[in-house]
Copies of this chain bind each other. A is one copy, B any other.
Amino acid sequence: MAERRSATIKDVAAAAGVGIATVSRVFSGTGAVADATRERVLAAARELDYRPSALGRGLKLRRSGGIGLIVPDVTDPFCAELVAGVLACARTLGGHVIVDAAHGDAEREAEIVDRFVEQRVDGIIACPAGETADWRAAARVCSSVVFADRVLPGLAEIPTVLADDAGGVRSLAEYLVGLGHRRIAFLGAAAPGGEPGVRERAFRDTLARLGVPAEEDLVVAARPARDAAYAAAAGLLQRRADVTAVVAAEHLLGEAAVLVARELDLRVPADVSIAMVDDVPWAELCDPPLTAVARPGRDIGYRACELLLREPARRGRGGPVRLPTELVVRGSCGALRSGRR
């Protein structure tokens, strides 16, 4: 059979009795083609089961029509939302998405960027792990780059879409102080993830502004891993049995806080109030349901993709795009009754 290799534009042209230029025009939608001719071409194409090759087109156009997406971990609920947002936007704009996970490893991230550049992606969206990758070169050479959810100190010129983490933590702190809490602990992330220290800084600032004395002892940092988070939470709650509320800077830390509280037989919120950043699905399933700050992962992804593909002009002007967070109050934080504990 001639079906061995798939049909090319040449086969279609021959079958339809036209030139390949005409077939190309029919499929790429450019230029004028007489209706009768178009029909003939389409019929021939259908007959031969012709699929235009993105490789051929890509070579000629010097771009693949796809975008590269780098997240720390696709199984993280927030990242997954972000990916979903990118997919949704790419879909409406007709591009495909190559996804890879860097797992916080800047080295690995650099490799992924290299690969994307080789693939001649139209652009890269990344939650950057570090500055190992040559972001500037990537942005210059063959594609543009948009950062999502994280900034890199030295790369302010790269357009960025963020959640308003500071605002989220602020609302959390205000909420807890409003409930009467004074000894509020902060479980923060040690790694240079997020705007470096932005959540911790927002926490300290808010407390200071509200006249709550800061205790260095109540702010602890943990590597973003389950065991480290658990250790940090356990250490904190055992060392300072007098804390009445805990703010977790991300869901792993929130999880750790919940588990540790359970382990220590602390009732939530009677003995200790717990709240966290990132409104992951289990926050609602928890008992009591966990108060959390919802960060718009999907919107961040969508917006980043839009920025990349649709608005190359407006990119990066006026600093990072900052999307609002929302405090979702559930049952894990209670008013402080005096004399407890």
Interface residues of A (CB under 8 A from B): 5-6, 49, 51-56, 58-59, 62, 64, 66, 73-75, 77, 80-81, 83-84, 87, 91, 96-101, 114-115, 117-120, 137, 141-142, 255, 258-259, 262, 280-282, 285-287
Given A55-B58, A285-B258, also A74-B84 (CB < 8 A): yes
- Complex interface: chain B residues within 8 A of A64 (CB): 54-55
A55–B62 touching, CB < 8 Å: yes
Copy tally for this chain in the complex stands at 2
**Interchain CA distance A101-B259 in the complex, whole Å:** 33
A–B pairs, 25, beta carbons within 8 Å: A5-B62, A52-B118, A53-B59, A54-B119, A55-B55, A55-B58, A55-B120, A59-B59, A73-B84, A74-B80, A74-B84, A74-B87, A75-B77, A75-B84, A77-B281, A87-B99, A96-B115, A96-B119, A98-B98, A98-B99, A255-B285, A282-B282, A286-B286, A286-B287, A287-B287
**Interchain CA distance A141-B98 in the complex, whole Å:** 22
- Complex interface: chain B residues within 8 A of A66 (CB): 98, 119
- Complex interface: chain B residues within 8 A of A83 (CB): 74-75, 99
- Complex interface: chain B residues within 8 A of A142 (CB): 6, 51
**Interchain CA distance A114-B50 in the complex, whole Å:** 11
Given A55-B55, A55-B58, A285-B282, also A98-B96 (CB < 8 A): yes
- Complex interface: chain B residues within 8 A of A115 (CB): 96
